[in-house]
Structure 1
Amino acid sequence: MKRLLLAADAFLFAAAFSITGSVALIVINQLTGALDQDTTEATLGALAIQGGSLLLSLLAVGGGAVLAWRLHGRQLTSPVAVFMVFGILIGTPVAFGLFGGLAVLMSLIPLGDGPPWIAIGVLAAAVMALLAMPMVDAVRDARGPKAHARLDMLRWIALAVIIAIGVVALPLVGAIQGSEMGEAGIFMVPFSLAGAMAVLGGDLYCSWIDKRETKAVGTA
């Protein structure tokens, strides 16, 4: 249970970081108009924005994973960091593979010209399930001795950021502009899953070390 809660917190924080970074890049794009011009400079600007988006997303993954790890009282050693990176390297393609597989599956279902509501519903259900775990724990902790008040506070802040940007601001702006900006928040999901995979990688390493040390003590 602790491992799942750690992964859910990493997902939560990575999602908040990722969606905030996405908004920053959208604002930069709107201000510069880099994607609306057909020039060499505009093409380079578009590539720079896309590269920046990928970099920010990876930083969000790592930042969310490290923040969750430290808030859970774990020590961030070099081997743990290495296994977190392994988790990201494995988790990112797996998450995008699942994301792409869902998109392909939905393309086989005739939905007309409207939004892919089934796919959006599946993603929303998965996201809510992952976000529910840390928030339920925060509510329980608020009624008890408040063992991890700072963690709970940051959980609420991260959730507020996700709701304010992903649920309210982006869909509203997208509806006003008649653009697909409202769907931008969906792309935080695979990167957030990679954040969860990162802490799972670190936790599996720690579990392996604990078992090895326990076995060594038992045979001594």
Structure 2
Amino acid sequence: MSGTLERPVVASRNRYHLAVDAFLFAAVIFLIGIGLQAIAAWVTSGGDPGAAMMPAWVEGLGMLAMLVGVVGGALLAWLVHGRALRGRDLLGAVVGVAAGGVALVVAFFALFSLWRFVPAIVPRDQVGPVDGAIVLAVAVLAFLAKPVIAAIRDLWRDRLHPGRDWLRLGALALVLGAVVVSAVIGGEAAELGAFAVPIAAAAACAVTGMDLLAARRVSAG
């Protein structure tokens, strides 16, 4: 963050792109962690993960993937955008995660309460909440759309931030590839994309809190 004030529109756009990058980076880190957990489960079970209970350390890999996804995604996006990391920025991350977590919980329960009144596209008791997954996917794609288009446009014309653009598009490709593969595998793996969303959203909230606190610090002095 520079010592000069940004125009509100520019600052808002930069913050949006920062949040999207944190979202994508966190999703990639989380999916890699879950992939490593799946490999560890396969190895420790002799090739049949469903035959026995996983060791505690293998179970712990899932929790570690969540934590590293949130922290790593936010910090990586912060550094990729050229921001200097200060101790006070971490306070903004905590506040961002807390505020975003409350907002997400409220939104989830509101959606869950209203969803039962929405006519089912497919029999939910047979195939699960497929229509809910479609709504979630559309919402995520809508959130990612503008920064992704901006990255493509920048690579095509201006090339102001090619490294950042390639990281954003590469992360998106990895996430989409993982979601498609998990959907093809089916079973519990098909829900992997949905599990990644709250982790990625937490990272986006964290980095947004960091940026808001940094902007307030600059404007104050």
TM-score by shorter chain over 0.5: yes
Q: Name the amino acid aligned to 2:19.
A: A
Deviation at 1:87, TM superposition (A): 2.0
Assess, with a 3 A threshold, how the Cα gap between structure 1 residues 64 and 158 changes in structure 2: closer, same or farther: same
Specify every segment of 5 or more residues in structure 2 that has no aligned partner in the other structure, as ranges: 1-12
User: Which residue is equivalent to 1:165?
Assistant: 178
Q: State TM-score, norm by structure 1.
A: 0.81
The aligned runs of 1:1-220 (5 Å cut-off) are: 1-33=13-45, 36-37=51-52, 42=53, 45=55, 47-92=56-101, 94-95=103-104, 98-99=107-108, 102-103=111-112, 105-106=114-115, 111-167=124-180, 169-174=181-186, 179-213=187-221
Assess, with a 3 A threshold, how the Cα gap between structure 1 residues 190 and 99 changes in structure 2: closer, same or farther: farther
Q: Deviations over 1:147-178 (max 9, x none)?
A: 111111111211111111112x111222xxxx
Partner Cα separation in structure 1 for residue 60 and residue 117 of structure 2: 31
Identity of matched residues, %? 33
Provide the secondary structure at the position in 1 that maps to 2:158: coil
Q: Name the amino acid aligned to 2:21.
A: D
Partner Cα separation in structure 2 for residue 192 and residue 118 of structure 1: 21
Contact 2:26 2:74 in 1 (8 A): yes
Deviation at 1:94, TM superposition (A): 4.2
Partner Cα separation in structure 2 for residue 36 and residue 99 of structure 1: 34
Specify every segment of 5 or more residues in structure 1 that has no aligned partner in the other structure, as ranges: 214-220
Contact 2:34 2:61 in 1 (8 A): no
Q: State TM-score, norm by structure 2.
A: 0.81
Assess, with a 3 A threshold, how the Cα gap between structure 1 residues 115 and 25 changes in structure 2: closer, same or farther: same
Provide the secondary structure at the position in 1 that maps to 2:51: coil
Q: Name the amino acid aligned to 1:114.
A: V
Partner Cα separation in structure 2 for residue 183 and residue 106 of structure 1: 19
Deviation at 1:100, TM superposition (A): 5.8
Assess, with a 3 A threshold, how the Cα gap between structure 1 residues 99 and 23 changes in structure 2: closer, same or farther: farther
CA-based RMSD of the aligned residues comes to 2.3
Provide the secondary structure at the position in 1 that maps to 2:160: coil
Contact 1:103 1:119 in 2 (8 A): no
Report how many residues are paired.
202
Contact 2:33 2:61 in 1 (8 A): no
Q: Which runs of 4+ in 1 moved over 6 A?
A: none
